[in-house]
Amino acid sequence: MSIAEKTAQQLVQKNELYEVTVHPQSDRLYHVKISKTAIQGFLNTVKEKNVSVESLEYTPYHRLIVSSLLLDQLGEDFSELIRSIIHNRETGGFTLGLEGVTKDTDDYVIFATAITHLLGMPNHDSMSGKYYARFSVKDTDSSDSYLRQAYRLFTLHTDGTFVDEPTDWLLMMKMIEENAVGGESRLLHLDDWNELDKFANTPLADHKFTYKAPQSKNVSQEVARKTFFKVNDKPCICYIDQFAYPDTIEQAHYLSDLSTSMENDSSVIELGLPVGDLVVLNNLFWLHGRAAFEKNPNLNRELMRQRGHFVE
Binding residues for Fe ion (CB under 5 A):
159
For the bound state, the minimum distance from the C-beta of residue 133 to Fe ion, rounded and expressed in Å, comes to 11
Q: How far is the CB of 159 from Fe ion (least distance, A)?
A: 4
- Within 8 A by CB and 6+ apart from 95, the residues are 23, 29, 30, 31, 32, 271, 273, 277, 278, 279, 280
| Residues near 212 by beta carbon (within 8 Å), at least 6 away in sequence | 162, 222, 243, 245
Q: Please report how close the Cβ of residue 204 comes to Fe ion at its closest, in angstroms.
A: 23
> Least distance (Å) from Fe ion to the CB of residue 305?
7
Distance from C-alpha of 227 to C-alpha of 211, rounded to nearest angstrom: 11
| Strands 93-97 and 30-34, sheet pairing | parallel
In angstroms, give the least distance from the CB of 263 to Fe ion.
Answer: 15
C-beta closer to Fe ion: residue 162 or 254: 162
Question: Could you tell me the smallest distance in angstroms from the CB atom of residue 150 to Fe ion?
Answer: 15
Q: What is the DSSP letter of 201?
A: S
Residue number of the CB closest to Fe ion reads 159
Q: 79 or 123: whose CB is closer to Fe ion?
A: 123
Instruction: For Fe ion, give the closer residue by CB, 159 or 241.
Output: 159
- When the beta carbons of 70 and 304 are compared against Fe ion, the nearer one is 304
For Fe ion, give the closer residue by CB, 107 or 168: 168
Helix (H, G, I), strand (E, B) or coil at 243: helix
- Whether residue 133 contacts residue 73, with contact meaning beta carbons closer than 8 Å, is answered with no
Beta bridge partners of 96: 32, 278
Q: Of the two residues 94 and 286, which places its CB atom closer to Fe ion in the complex?
A: 286
Alpha carbon 162 to its chain's center: 16
Beta 18-22 vs 30-34: how paired, if at all? antiparallel
- Helices 77-87 and 61-74 cross at an angle (nearest 10°) of 110
Q: Quick check: 122 and 308 in contact, CB under 8 A?
A: yes
Give whichever of 31 and 288 is closer to Fe ion, judged by the CB atom: 288
Shortest Å distance, C-beta 157 to Fe ion = 6
| Measured distance CA(183)–CA(138) in Å, rounded | 11
